[in-house]
Amino acid sequence: MKIKDATFITSVASADKFYKTDKPIIAVAGKSNVGKSSLINMLANKKKLAKTSVTPGRTRLINYFDFGEFVLADLPGYGFAKVSKEEKKKWGELLESFLATQKIKLLLSLVDIRHDPTADDKMMVNYLYHYAVPFALVATKADKLGKTKIKPRVKEIATELRVGVMDITATSAENGFGKEQVLSIIESAIAVNNEKETEEE
């Protein structure tokens, strides 16, 4: 799949404002600073479509982007230590309501390839099973590891999250590693759902 001209649509802060679209929704989730915005920019072939930051984000917004064949929803990052309990609760409610009510064709759940998955990462996977959201894992920042370390790390992360190694794609927004694989996973997710809709007609 070729992404031609991805554009920003809108930011929303609450469930009553979720963006309505007939296009398939692909969501991106993960802790603050894991590389969500960078992955989005890599997929879009644009440097500044989604804002990246050195200081983990304070934004509790869902950012929507039009990718042509699909709409990409950048979910607010979790696990940012400096937020209040109240804010964490709000974030949890926003996320759960998004997972429960939006027809998500695929959610890309990002983890940092260098670190063991956090309790929040595990909770995210549990949510995805709970709400029956189709998902794939993306292990970001693969450029930070030596080439031979990538596979063993993916295996460790898979064990920790209780998923298969094939369910995890290592990526690097720095050098484009894994980009085509992520695009083809998105493409398959969109195609599978289309087939299903046709069958039901």
List residues near ligand GDP by CB under 6 A.
30, 32-38, 52-54, 57, 77, 140-141, 143-144, 172-174
Q: Using the rule CB under 5 A, is 31 a contact of Mg ion?
A: no
Contact (Cβ atoms closer than 8 angstroms) between residue 3 and residue 183: yes
Strands (E), 23-179: 25-30, 62-66, 71-74, 104-112, 135-140, 168-170
Give the residue at shortest CB distance from Mg ion.
Answer: 37
Of residues 24 and 35, the one with the C-beta less far from ligand GDP: 35
Which residues, in sequence order, are CB contacts of 136 under 8 Å at separation 6+?
A: 106, 107, 108, 109, 167, 168, 169, 182, 185, 189
Q: Which is nearer to ligand GDP, 70 or 80 (by Cβ)?
A: 80
Shortest Å distance, C-beta 41 to Mg ion: 10
Residue nearest ligand GDP, CB atom distance? 35
Is the separation of the CB atoms in 136 and 108 below 8 Å? yes
Least Å from the CB of residue 79 to Mg ion: 13
- Cβ proximity of 80 and 57 under 8 Å: yes
When asked if residue 37 is in the footprint of Mg ion (CB under 5 A), the reply is: yes
Pick out residues in 68-127 that bind Mg ion (CB under 5 A): none
Q: How far is the CB of 26 from ligand GDP (least distance, A)?
A: 15
Nearer to Mg ion by Cβ, of 37 and 140: the residue is 37
Q: How far is the CB of 70 from ligand GDP (least distance, A)?
A: 19
Q: Which is nearer to ligand GDP, 7 or 101 (CB)?
A: 7
Question: Cβ 153 to ligand GDP, closest distance in Å?
Answer: 14
Helix (H) / strand (E) containing 195:
helix 179-200
- Minimum distance, C-beta of residue 199 to ligand GDP, in the bound complex (Å): 37
Give the nearer residue to Mg ion in terms of CB position, either 91 or 190: 91
- In the numeric block, which tokens belong to residue 132? 């029956």
Other Cβ atoms less than 10 A from the Cβ of 77: the count is 23
Closest CA to 110 of 52, 50, 38: 38
- Angstrom CA distances, 193 to 70, 185, 199, stand at 12, 13, 10
33 or 102, CB closer to ligand GDP?
33
What's at 114, amino acid-wise? Answer: R
Binding-site ranges for Mg ion (CB under 5 A): 36-37
